[in-house]
Amino acid sequence: MDEMVLNQHLNRSITQIQDEEWNRVKDLFPFPEIKKDQLSFIQRVLTTKNPLLVSATTGVGKTAALLVSLLAVKKPEEKVIIFVRTKAQINVFLKEFGLIYRKIIANWDKLKEHFNFNLPLVLTILGKNELCVKRNKKYPGEMYTHICSLTKCTLKQKTKLLTNSQIKKIAKNLFSVYPDMNSKEDLVSVYENTNYCPYYVNFILAQNADVVITSYPFLEDYFLFNYLFNRLKIDLSKAIIAVDEAHNLFQVLNLEITKSILEKAVEENNHPFIQELLEKITETQVFNYKLDEEELKNFEKEILKKLNAQYRKEEIKSINAYIAYHFIKESQGKRVISDTKRLSTINPLPSTILRKIVDARKIVMMSGSFEPIHSFQRLFSLPKSEKLQLYSTNSKNSKYMILSNKDYNGKFQYRDEKYFLKIAKAIDRIHKAIPGHVLVFCPSYKYLNDLTENYFLDVDISETPKMDISTVQAILSNAEEKKAVACVVGGKISEGIEFTKNGKSIIKGVIITALPFPPPDPKNQILREELTKKYGKKFAIDFTIIIPTVQRIIQSFGRAIRNENDKAVHILLDPRGTRFNKEFRFERYKTIEQIQKAITNFL
């Protein structure tokens, strides 16, 4: 067979495979029609062999497009592994898969051969502190692995004796919750009703799972990454990897410990290693952290021996010392930053994180804040990577407005009593003009507290770092009257969270009070220095100041429009935002009255 005939035969084979995959996509897609941008997304995932970076704005429908395309190309021996930044984002994928699962059941005759005659199993990988039915909330999550090893738990012993038929029965119970699945709690409830250890049952099932959804630490941390793949019993070459909100891989904070915890740790265990960290935290500095391995092992033995003795007496008093030990152990060989309040380990170059996954069968990195995408492509350094940009800006359904009045300048030195009172009054008047729920985003928790507590902005809900977002979603979904929610840019609510009811967004307005520039902290300084060395000064400034600010605005504004039929207003109260007109095409208004009138005419 000559080369020309061989190429024709090869092209026909490729076309046939792609046709089969496309037919599967149509059978899997959970909505009445595939939108133009989703079509572009799906086709690119089906056809490319190289790592793909997808910049897709809110409203494109990237979650559904990603899931159906990866399920369509997945072979029986392969696994789809999806890494997300927050546990709340796990719920977004699970909810979407629930809709896809209904289509799988409806089209099973056409899909069963592709899935090797087994219904696809989708699971999440969660920590022991989230799955243990006997968990004690007073213990920090990092202690649970050790606590578990000390516990004589009957559930753990029973799980080791699980038979194949019992495992299949649990899987069958999971299948029954898929069609109406809303969150990871739906899966956890199945495990908790089995009389087995949920953590180990989950990992046993995960070995046979088609899709595994987990959080960033399993991607960022070398040991957790290897642990995950060993437990899943899968080779990297048989993994299809997707990373959601992948812009967050830049400026990853792997681990941190506060000054107050170290002070308590010294009281519990006056070890030189803990004392040394407490001394380092007193001044702003950056240092490479590496201890003698033998001395570190002796320290570990001392900490664990004391913890074991206290646990047997049911009186653990060394919790903070254990947290300090955990930080010390996990920080070895890393750069550590002190800002006088906390110590943080950082990895300023995401290419070192992504090096682990280059041999995966397929890689898709996606984000609604991947701009400029060519800069991220350069930063990630994935070999032969390709990029795809999708924009879903429907001017008929969304309006972007800015208050170009210098009296509302949100610069830090202008934030006095007069400023906050003016902002509070503006938000109150704008909220009254919007016929629905409103999210009010502040640049920091301090700003939010100043606005809501000191200057009496009347909101129904205020975000906190430990807030359960699903509770907020339920409150807004069931509310009979419109509500105002005070949030933080870059907080839990700003990224990947949907507020929908019957498929439609229930958020009618998003207000950003002030530009969320990153604070001038030591972390940013180090990142800027690292990026300047490798890419130049302009690139470094863009990535440490300009791009993070634009990303935060995009993410916050993105909470309102979730599909092409939604309609909402997006308002920035800081006149400094006019510099970002290229990204948002703001309509400029000088007064609150003008904004109120524009809202009334639009909504």
Q: Which segment, 123-137, 150-164, 268-282, is predicted with the most confidence on average?
A: 268-282
Is the pLDDT at 7 greater than 50? The verdict is no
Q: Could you tell me the pLDDT band of residue 5, with boundaries at 50, 70 and 90?
A: very low
Of 335, 367, 392, the one marking the end of a domain is 392
367 beta partners: 55
Report yes or no on 286 lying in a domain: yes
- 284 within a domain of the structure (yes/no): yes
Using an 8 Å Cβ cutoff, are 337 and 523 in contact?
A: yes
Residues 409 and 461 grouped into a single domain: yes
Q: Is the pLDDT of residue 400 over 70?
A: yes
Residues 77 and 225 reside in one and the same domain: yes
Is residue 445 a part of any domain in this protein? yes
**Residues near 114 by Cβ (< 8 Å), separated by ≥ 6?**
24, 72
* Domain assignment of residue 128, yes or no: no
Average pLDDT score, the chain: 89
Comparing 220 with 1, the larger pLDDT belongs to: 220
Shared-domain flag, residues 379 and 471: no
Q: Is residue 152 part of a domain?
A: no
CB neighbourhood size of 272 (10 A): 9
**DSSP string of 492-508?**
TTTSS---EETTEE-EE
Residues 386, 482, single domain; the answer is: no
pLDDT class of 9 with cuts at 50, 70, 90 = very low
DSSP line for 376-424: HHHHH--TT-EEEEE----TTTEEEEEE--GGG---GGG-SHHHHHHHH
What is the mean pLDDT of the segment spanning 478-500?
A: 90
Specify the pLDDT at position 489.
95
Strand partners, 343: 257, 338
Are residues 430 and 322 located together in one domain of the fold? no
Task: Identify the residue with better confidence: 591 or 495.
Answer: 591
At 308 the pLDDT is: 87
Same domain, 314 and 241: no
**Looking at the predicted structure, is the pLDDT value of residue 475 above 90?**
yes
Label residue 326 exposed, middle or buried (CB < 10 Å: 0-12, 13-18, 19+).
buried
pLDDT, one tens digit per residue, over 132-150 is 887 777 788 778 878 888 8
Assess if residue 121 is contained within a domain.
no
DSSP state of 450: I
CATH of the domain at 538: 3.40.50.300
Q: Is the model more confident about 75 or about 585?
A: 75
Domain's final residue, options 357, 392, 427: 392
Residue at a domain's end among 326, 360, 392: 392
Q: Is residue 385 part of a domain?
A: yes
Strand partners, 82: 213, 242
- CA angle, 326 then 258 then 337, to 5°: 85
Tell me which H or E stretch contains 213: strand 211-215
Co-location of 247 and 289 in the same domain: no
Same domain, 78 and 222: yes
Pair 513, 433 in one domain:
yes
Residues 244, 379, single domain; the answer is: yes
- For tokens 């430990």, name the residue: 466
pLDDT tens string 90-118: 999 999 999 999 999 999 999 999 998 89
Q: What is the pLDDT of residue 10?
A: 41
352 and 220, same domain (yes or no): yes
Is residue 559 assigned to a domain? Answer: yes
3-state secondary structure of 246: helix
| pLDDT score at 392 | 60
Share of the chain above pLDDT 90, in %: 60
Average pLDDT rounded to a whole number, residues 26-34: 94
How many domains does the structure of the chain reveal?
3
Cα-flanking dihedrals φ and ψ of residue 194, to 5°?
Answer: -95, -20
Say yes or no: 461 and 561 in one domain: yes
pLDDT of residue 13 exceeding 70, the answer is no
Residue 395 binned pLDDT confidence (cut-offs 50, 70, 90): low
pLDDT of the residue at 416: 92
- Provide the CATH number for the domain around residue 319: 1.10.275.30
Residues of the domain holding 284: 252-347
Whether the upstream peptide bond of residue 272 has omega within 30° of 0, thus cis, is no
Quick: pLDDT tens for 236-264.
999 999 999 998 887 655 688 999 999 99
